[in-house]
């Protein structure tokens, strides 16, 4: 089992696509174990996207992720990181395959609707940034485990 951090970015929030996007991950078989609506501030944006500092799109990326409240979610499942990124599609929506979130719902690389962790180390770091104070509910006492096992 693996965990990944997903962000429903401001363009998706503003377009009313949060439910659609979360629904696609849910239907794929990824289980929501953390969910939070929040306004990202400049400091959190710069920590989250720290690896992109110095790139030409960095300042725009930071203001984009701060542009409205977003949803942060932790998803859990088999190969959750790669499965989520496959469901998201390529970074540039023009190159993302039809059937993916970005391929179906986006057209601009700077407005690509959704973030997903790209490796176990980044997932751990990003989950810490958005859920460091707790708030995860790992379904330990759930009775519908047979759906996933």
Query: Whole-angstrom Cα distance, residue 104 to residue 52?
Result: 26
**Which one of 105, 115, 126, 130 is the catalytic residue?**
115
Q: Which does 95 bind (CB under 5 to 8 A by kind): ligand IDP, Mg ion, none?
A: none
Residue of 76, 66, 107, 100 lying closest to 6 (CA atoms): 76
C-beta closer to ligand IDP: residue 50 or 138? 50
| Interacting partner of 61 out of Mg ion, ligand IDP, none (Cβ under 5 to 8 A depending on kind) | ligand IDP
What residue ranges bind ligand IDP (CB under 6 A)?
A: 52, 57, 61, 91, 109-110, 112, 115, 118
Of 32 and 109, nearer to ligand IDP (C-beta) is 109
Q: Is 48 a catalytic residue?
A: no
C-beta closer to ligand IDP: residue 4 or 112: 112
Q: Which of ligand IDP, Mg ion, none does residue 19 bind to, with CB < 5 to 8 Å depending on kind? A: none
> What character string, x for contact with Mg ion (CB under 5 A) and - otherwise, covers 92-131?
--------------------------x-------------
Sequential DSSP letters for the chain: -EEEEEEE-HHHHHTT-HHHHHHHHHHHTPEEEEEEEEPPPHHHHHHHTGGGTTSTTHHHHHHHHTSS-EEEEEEEETTHHHHHHHHH--SSTTTSPTTSHHHHH---GGG--EEE--SHHHHHHHHHHHHTT------TT-S-GGGT-
Q: In whole angstroms, how close is the CB of 131 to ligand IDP at the nearest point?
A: 19
Active site residues: 115
């Amino acid at each position: 089992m693996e965990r990944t951090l997903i962000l429903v970015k401001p363009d998706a929030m503003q377009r009313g696509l949060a439910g659609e996007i979360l629904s696609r991950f849910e239907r794929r078989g990824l289980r929501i174990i953390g969910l939070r609506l929040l306004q990202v501030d400049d400091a959190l944006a710069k920590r989250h996207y720290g690896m992109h500092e110095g790139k030409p799109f960095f300042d725009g990326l930071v203001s984009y992720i701060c542009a409205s409240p977003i949803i942060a979610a932790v998803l859990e499942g088999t190969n959750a990181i790669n499965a989520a990124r496959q469901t998201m599609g390529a970074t540039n929506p023009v190159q993302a395959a039809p059937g993916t979130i970005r391929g179906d719902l986006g057209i601009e690389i700077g407005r690509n609707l959704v973030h997903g962790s790209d490796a176990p180390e980044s997932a751990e770091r990003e989950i810490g940034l958005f859920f460091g104070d707790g708030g995860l509910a790992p379904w330990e006492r759930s009775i519908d485990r047979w759906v996933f096992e």
